Chain A
Amino acid sequence: MSDSNVLSRQWGRVRRRDEFEPDLGWVLDESRRKWMAEHTSGVTKPDPALVIKNLRRTFGGLTAVDVDHLEIQRGVITALIGPNGAGKTTLFNLLTGFDRPDSGSVLFDGRDIERMRSHVRARKGMVRTFQLTKALTKLSVLENMKLGAKGQVGEGFARSLVPPLWRAQERAIEQRAMELLERFSLAHMASEYAGTLSGGQRKLLEMARALMSRPAVVMLDEPVAGVNPALTQSLLEHVRELPIEGMTVIFVEHDMDVVWDISDWVVVMAEGRVIAEGLAEDIGKNRAVIDAYLGSGQGIENPEEEAP
């Protein structure tokens, strides 16, 4: 498909994990670390996929999101953590166009996407999953997957009535869907209703479906919440592979083990603001973070209870 050509041109190369590590060198730079110690958030990065500027969203008297400056590095797994009500999901909604900010802007690949509606942002390569999984229950698992593909000829009303126009593309999409399902250990469920999947399998399906569009930025809202430990490991494996394929990953997660395990970079939010960002091991030592989040009892809260 033409999509893939565009993507490979965009990134120039497909990196393996070990080749990819040195790219993080910039965060290990001593002078930058020192600078960061003084500036807990708003660090500039060499190649940001997303730049958030003065983004504010209030609900009545409550300021849900108030981010002065935040950059998301391309090709890196960024974790977004913070206590319940910190504004993580609201920020996700603002980034993906599911909610409108009161003020501020978001740059995606240097372009202001503020005026783009959510489905346009998705087409441009920003694909998200949801905290409460949205498996399309009365569609088969395979249909769910096929829906994720972009630029489908047969999605036009008139063209859909002429199958020869889209049959070849449909076959290609189906093949890719089956490959992804294979990778996510869902291939045996392909023809079942998505509604018959377990909670964990739905999380897998939602992620696999998001990947069907060959996104540039994948945003995962609590990808492992409610997933059993064995499945969590395989899910995390998949997340870890995404940057190798050139994708930028942002995920919200409450499970600190998961955060330490897979994230390259951690952004901490509290009361709508970014209070700190840095490497996972540094963040764990950050006083502000411990006060705001870890000190408040890690693992006690049930992430499922947080209102979306």
Chain B
Amino acid sequence: MTLAAIDWGFILTQTVETAVGLEAAVYALAAVGLNVHFGYAGLLNFGQVGFVAMGAYGMGLSVTLWSLNPFLALLVGMGFATVFALILGVPTLRLRGDYLAIVTIAAAEIVRLLARSTTLGGITRGAEGLHAFIGPFRELNPFDAGSEYGIGPVQFGGNQFFAIVVGWALTAVALAVIWQLMRSPWGRVVKAIREDEDAARALGKNAYWYKLQALILGGVIGGLAGMVQALGKATIQPDSFVPAYTFFFWTVLILGGVGRIWSPVVGAMIFWAMLTFFQGTLTAMVNEGLIPTALMDTSQVSQIRFMLVGVGLALLMVFRPQGIFGSREEMMLDVR
């Protein structure tokens, strides 16, 4: 009945695995998109999971419905996210920022409910989801599906490793594009719109058009997250796109620090490392009797770990409100 009896090596291995694994890559990409929206353009998007779903379904349907090759499927997925951005942005971006927030949270749910509806069942296969799309992607996999890849105790199966590599590669590309955009005059206009839309308009900038561009860019990156998830899980299920995920992406972004290039990546890694570490540790502590079952049992661990992440986030807001990478100096400007 001691802490030493817990298999720390196993817990740490799992922690590292999830910190660099598929989930972290998916969350990082989705949060990179959210960072474009909120961090740079100041758009309040509470429906990022809708973009993720659109990307995943766009890619999946390209194969199951239209038998397109994987690269075209990727483009179709991006196209789906773009169309979603246009549907959300065209009517709302002329209005005050709050309207986008309201519309996005509803639209993301509409996407999920449509995908699982019986009306579209013939296309999206309802709650069962899409599975048959994975074949062509597996053929592109340069890694051996039967082997393990990784460093030391951290090992992934070949198919999983492929999705992880694709996920982080896409993240790298997205970050490179955003980095270049944000040091260009385009980024300057977008950041100016975040600060004060009217000032930008008074200087001749078409704020509406820039906001729409930013919404599309961040949405397409969110769509990529959905495609990476589909690739890794070999399934696209409507109920893996519930609204809660949007707020996990927000947690990731705020952990890292809003409006910083690396923050979504590091935020996603820390988010998943924390979840896995708490899961492993709490489970072990309950099993070892360090936590009495009257207080909690192993089936409650997966809920409790989110509470602990919440506590962590609250502490971060108290002691480092700008996030890990954020600039306190910049943040304090709001107070003046």
Q: Give residues in A with beta carbon < 8 Å to B.
A: 96, 98, 117-120, 122-123, 127-130, 134, 136-139, 143-144, 146-148, 150, 152-157, 160-161, 163, 166, 170, 193, 195-196, 209-210, 212-213
Residue of B nearest to A196 (CB): B333
Q: In the complex the two chains form, is B201's CB within 8 Å of A139's CB?
A: no
Taking A193-B333, A213-B204 as contacts, is the C-beta distance between A139 and B198 under 8 angstroms? no
Tell me if B184 is interfacial: C-beta within 8 Å of chain A. Answer: yes
Identify 13 residue pairs between A and B in the complex whose beta-carbon atoms are under 8 Å apart, listed by A's number: A119-B206, A119-B207, A127-B203, A136-B195, A137-B195, A143-B191, A152-B185, A153-B185, A154-B185, A155-B188, A155-B205, A160-B187, A209-B203
Contact of A155 among B185, B198, B201, B329 (CB under 8 A): B185
Closest-by-CB residue of B relative to A152 is B185
CB-CB under 8 A from B334, the residues of chain A are: 137, 195
Residues of A contacting B96 with CB < 8 Å? none
Q: Contact: A98 with B333, CB < 8 Å?
A: no
**A155 & B186 in contact (Cβ 8 Å cutoff):** yes
Q: Which residue of B lies closest to A195 (CB)?
A: B333
Q: Tell which of A150, A156, A213 touches B186, judged by Cβ atoms closer than 8 Å.
A: A156
Q: From residue A120, how far is it (CB to closest CB) to chain B in Å? A: 8
B188, A143: Cβ atoms under 8 Å? Answer: yes
Residue of B180, B181, B329 touching A193 (CB-CB under 8 A) = B329
B7 adjacent to chain A (CB < 8 Å): no
Contact with A along B183-197 (1 / 0, CB 8 A): 011111101101110
B residues with a Cβ closer than 8 A to A are 177, 180-181, 184-189, 191-192, 194-196, 198-207, 213, 329-330, 333-334, 336
* Shortest beta-carbon distance from B190 to chain A in Å: 10
- In the bound assembly, the distance between CA atoms of A130 and B204 in angstroms comes to 15
Known: A128-B202, A166-B185. 6 other contacts (CB 8 A): A98-B201, A122-B203, A127-B202, A127-B204, A147-B188, A195-B334
A166: which B residues are within 8 A, CB to CB? 184-185
Asked if B333 and A119 sit within 8 Å, CB to CB, the answer is no
When A and B form their complex, which 4 residue pairs have the shortest distance between CB atoms, in order from nearest? Answer: A195-B333, A154-B185, A160-B186, A160-B184
Among residues of B, the one whose C-beta sits closest to the C-beta of A206 is B199
Q: State the CA gap A209–B202 with chains docked (Å).
A: 11
Is B330 a contact of A163 with CB atoms below 8 Å?
no
> Quick check: B201 and A147 within 8 Å, CB to CB?
no
Chain B residues with CB under 8 Å of A123's CB are 204
CB pair B198 A160 closer than 8 Å: no
B247 to chain A, nearest CB (A): 25
Q: Which residue of A lies closest to B196 (CB)?
A: A134
Nearest CB in chain A to that of B180: its residue: A161
Contact yes or no, B180 A160, CB < 8 A: yes
On whether the beta carbons of A119 and B199 are closer than 8 Å, the reply is no
Question: In the complex, what residues of A have CB within 8 A of residue B184's CB?
Answer: 154, 160-161, 163, 166
Give the complex CA separation of A128 and B198 in angstroms: 10
Within the complex, the shortest CB–CB distance from B185 to chain A, in Å, comes to 4
CB–CB A157/B198 < 8 A? no
Q: How far, in angstroms, from A120 to B208 measured CA to CA in the complex?
A: 12
The minimal Cβ–Cβ distance linking B209 to chain A, given in whole angstroms, is 9
**A147–B207 touching, CB < 8 Å:** no
* Contact, CB under 8 Å: B196 / A136: yes
Inter-chain CA distance A119–B198, complex, in Å, is: 9
Does A154 contact B204, Cβ atoms closer than 8 Å? no
Specify which of A138, A143, A144, A154 is in contact with B333 (CB 8 Å cutoff): A138
B202 neighbours in A (Cβ, 8 Å): 96, 98, 118-119, 122, 127-130, 134, 210
Q: Indicate which residue in B188, B194, B198, B206 contacts A146 across the interface (CB closer than 8 Å).
A: B188
Q: CA–CA, A148 to B189, complex, Å? A: 10
In the complex, A143→B187 CA distance in Å?
11
